[in-house]
Amino acid sequence: MAVKKKTSAAAVPPAVLSPRALGRATLERQLLLRRATMSAEDAVRHLVGLQAQNTRPPYYQLLARLEGFEPAELASLMESREVVRIVTLRSTIHTHTADDALTLRPLVQEARDRELRIFRKGLVGVELDRLRDLSRAYVEETPRTPKEIREKLLVEWPDADPQALSTAARCLLPLIQVTPRGVWGKSGQVALTTAEHWLGRPSEPAPAPDATVLRYLAAFGPASVKDMQSWAGLTRMREVFERLRPNLVTFRDENGTELFDLPDAPRPDEDTPAPPRFLPEFDNVLLGHADRSRVIPPRFKGRNGVGNQAYGSLLVDGFLAAIWRPESDGVGAPTTVTVQELRPFTAAERDAVTDEALAMLAVMTKAATATDGNGYDVRFASFIDFDG
């Protein structure tokens, strides 16, 4: 009688995850399948920061993710210096907890060094150590605008490129955008000081990259090495994933790319309902992977931005399906949402989108005007009408 050979677990090929399955897993971890009851500070920590090139996107990101969120909650955290605005991941501004600002910034210094090398032709003859020391003393005396920093450094190096000088200061120092910049309902130009000075404590040692990979997977997984590198702006992360491999599980996407994940992380069924979510022009879930097809269908790649203009992104059934913009009543409160479909919506989808838009307007208008407001409107427009 023939004896069947046992197949070892190692010989079993990893499961293949469709873009839809990957999307549902990521949406769950991004708090976008259902709104979470956690605090704004805990959400910022869990998400490893919020994309924040502009001042309002962090508020819209949390509104899409948290039950009962009010902009005043994040504004209060900004004013109490429990969260801050700082250039970190991908050389872009993020809203981070104070602890993450003091640790993630050193972790991504490699990317700042690469950026600094791009401007080296404008820094001939500039002593970078002296530039760092001069800049630190200047911005810690009182927060300074980028223009003031440039003018100060040009006194020392009049032949240097002004833009290169201010970029060097930003790359060499962990510079915080101080409040009222970024506080809902207030305005303020960009003014900078060091994270250590603003937070009243020294920077901490950068966390081991292993710990950051695990945090990334908890918030963005399953993901490839390239995904994580794209998210962080780092390189040479393969060896970190290999070191962690015994404690991770692996999958493949439909293109054969290896994906890593935490063993106990949620991976919902790909048919799990995903309600509409209005995301701002910059959002973690849209920028957290090299391959974004789990949220952005390939045919819509690049459709949520035109040139330097980025629109808000609307997820329907878990995927980018429209772009949107809020329109003001003239005093700063958004009272109308214009939605441009990238694919035809069903009647049920339009109803769900309308309900979500009205709920968003109710919160944001109240936050902007301190009244409940009325007369909210949701408009569905063609691309031509939307763009101009």
Check: CB of residue 302 under 8 Å from CB of residue 283: no
- Of residues 94 and 8, more confidence is placed in 94
> 60: number of CA atoms within 13 Å, CB side?
28
For 311-356, the pLDDT digits (tens) are: 899 999 999 999 999 887 655 567 889 999 999 999 999 999 999 9
Starting at the edge strand found earlier in the chain, the sheet holding 334-341 runs: 277-279, 312-316, 319-328, 334-341, 377-381
Check: CB of residue 97 under 8 Å from CB of residue 204: no
Rounded to whole angstroms, how far apart are CA atoms 67 and 367? 16
For 220-251, the pLDDT digits (tens) are: 999 999 999 999 999 999 999 999 999 999 99
pLDDT at 5: 46
- Per-residue pLDDT, averaged over 102-128, amounts to 92
For 129-187, the pLDDT digits (tens) are: 999 999 999 999 999 999 999 999 999 999 999 999 999 999 999 999 999 999 998 98
Break the chain into its structural domains and give their ranges. 13-22+207-261, 23-199, 296-387
Residue 5 CB contacts under 8 Å (≥ 6 apart), including other chains = none
Starting at the edge strand found earlier in the chain, the sheet holding 16-17 runs: 16-17, 249-253, 258-261
Residue 384 pLDDT > 60, yes or no? no
pLDDT at 9: 47
Query: pTM here?
Result: 0.91
**Beta carbons within 10 angstroms of residue 103's beta carbon:** 19
- Per-residue pLDDT, averaged over 49-58, amounts to 94
- As beta bridge partners, residue 17 has 253
Helix and strand counts by DSSP (H, E) for the chain: 16, 15
For 255-289, the pLDDT digits (tens) are: 999 999 999 999 999 999 999 999 998 899 999 99
